[in-house]
Amino acid sequence: MLGAAPCFDQPFYVGFAVGGFELGLVPDGAPGATGATAYWGVTDAAAELARLASLDAVPHEALQDVGGGIRVATLLDPDGNRLGIIEKPHFDPGAVR
């Protein structure tokens, strides 16, 4: 999804360097679509949905406008884990450092 290999990859933690931050994933041995959903900021939610589908993600909750032009959707990765995408028209991801 990120288009980059992890900067740290161990069975107990996988980290990705993204935009000056580290996105850390803790595999707990209990994959699935329950629990918290992490939303990844994107500039074009429809295009990102198509890209993730090409990587074998399955739509879970359809793309919807939740107000103010903000659009969200969730997908299930090939292991059944839920992930979200969010498009916020007034958010500049380049401004976060």
Phi and psi dihedrals of 30, rounded to 5? -130, 70
pTM value? 0.68
**Sequential DSSP letters for 22-88:** EEEE---S--SS-S---EEEES-HHHHHHHHHHTT-EEEEEEEE-STT-EEEEEE-TTS-EEEEEE-
Query: What percent of the chain has pLDDT above 90?
Result: 27
Question: What stretches of 16-79 show up as alpha helix (H) in DSSP?
Answer: 45-54
CB 46 within 8 A of CB 96: no
pLDDT at position 97: 45
Tokens 């707990």 belong to which residue? Answer: 28
CB 72 within 8 A of CB 88: no
Instruction: State pLDDT tens for residues 30-77.
Output: 667 776 677 888 889 999 999 999 999 999 999 999 988 889 999 998
Task: Tell me if residue 90 falls in helix, strand or coil.
Answer: coil
Amino acid at 47: A
